A and B are shown apart, each in its own frame.
Chain A
């Protein structure tokens, strides 16, 4: 049975997506760990299907200031990958890579912007490579883009993308632990509905 909307996902389908998220998160964490040269762990992903306002409140408060690296996916899987970081998490990454102590991500210069964008890009690429080789789907990734703004504003982009045909969005989440410290960051895979059918078909679930 084809999935027409996110709510059609049964337990089996949700488990499969969670497993894909788990492998993606593992690869992203390994990539970050190699860059920072420290232990990085990611919690098991949650697969959440929520109405827009509910999804926003699930991730935080709309006015929370965050940095986000966004990559558009196209090809057999369409949608968005978002890597969201709080000021604290961004400071940890910048501190461990270029060694800056004072850090305010509302006043980031070119180098810090590039470092964050590139790290986000590497993590997202690792995630998608794992997904793509596991399921044998072809995914193209667009050039990564960085924004530092309110969480609500950042999420308006995936919501507007999925919102044309749906009143809900699906997020496969992942929380981070770096060097034993927990960080409020999120690695979000936001696929559109059609892509879910592609994934299920490739994995032999009908």
Chain B
């Protein structure tokens, strides 16, 4: 049985050699996987909001900007090399067609934009993506081979 580690909302997990990292039902949230094939190091991050505005907020993995930075810091500390990183993203859906004054409707899109901006700033290319639309996704990465799979309701599994 393959070891399966679940990544919660506003959470990140990192594992080496083997095992599966999985995060369930990404709606407007975004899942970001990082993989170094040479040393079989994988990380999966689940962010909820684009930007950390309150410096006192201790929950770094809640936000795209602080979450990606902290994940990469750990990833490099575990021996991951920037030049070898394979990065894939999923989620950022528009779950409801909201037109209210809160501007909640496009939170998914804002998350995606921020994730892309931060990754670009960090010099990391995105090599696979399944984002937008209006449905939730479960994302998993197999650390043995780096394969990222996306599950949705009523559609076949997709390998990114």
Contact = CB atoms under 8 A, between A and B. Distances in A.
Interface string B1-25: 0000000111100000000000011
A160 B49 contact: yes
B135 A52 contact: no
Contacts, number: 111
Nearest to A156: B27
A153 B93 contact: yes
A56 B104 contact: no
Contacts of B100: 72, 74, 142-143
A185 interface: no
Contact of B153 (A65, A155, A161): A65
Contact of A154 (B10, B59, B107, B136): B136
Interface in A150-186: 150-157, 159-161, 163-165, 167
B87 interface: no
Interface in A52-67: 52-53, 56, 62-63, 65
A63 B53 contact: no
Interface in A104-148: 106, 142-143, 145-147
A74 B101 contact: yes
Contacts of B27: 149-150, 152-157
Interface string A61-87: 011010000101010001000000000
Given A149-B95, A152-B25, A154-B27, A159 B134 contact: no
Given A52-B9, A161-B104, A165-B54, A156 B98 contact: no
Interface of A: 52-53, 56, 62-63, 65, 70, 72, 74, 78, 106, 142-143, 145-147, 149-157, 159-161, 163-165, 167
20 contacts: A53-B8, A62-B24, A70-B98, A72-B98, A74-B100, A145-B96, A145-B97, A149-B134, A150-B25, A150-B138, A153-B26, A154-B27, A156-B95, A157-B27, A157-B104, A160-B29, A160-B49, A163-B48, A167-B10, A167-B59
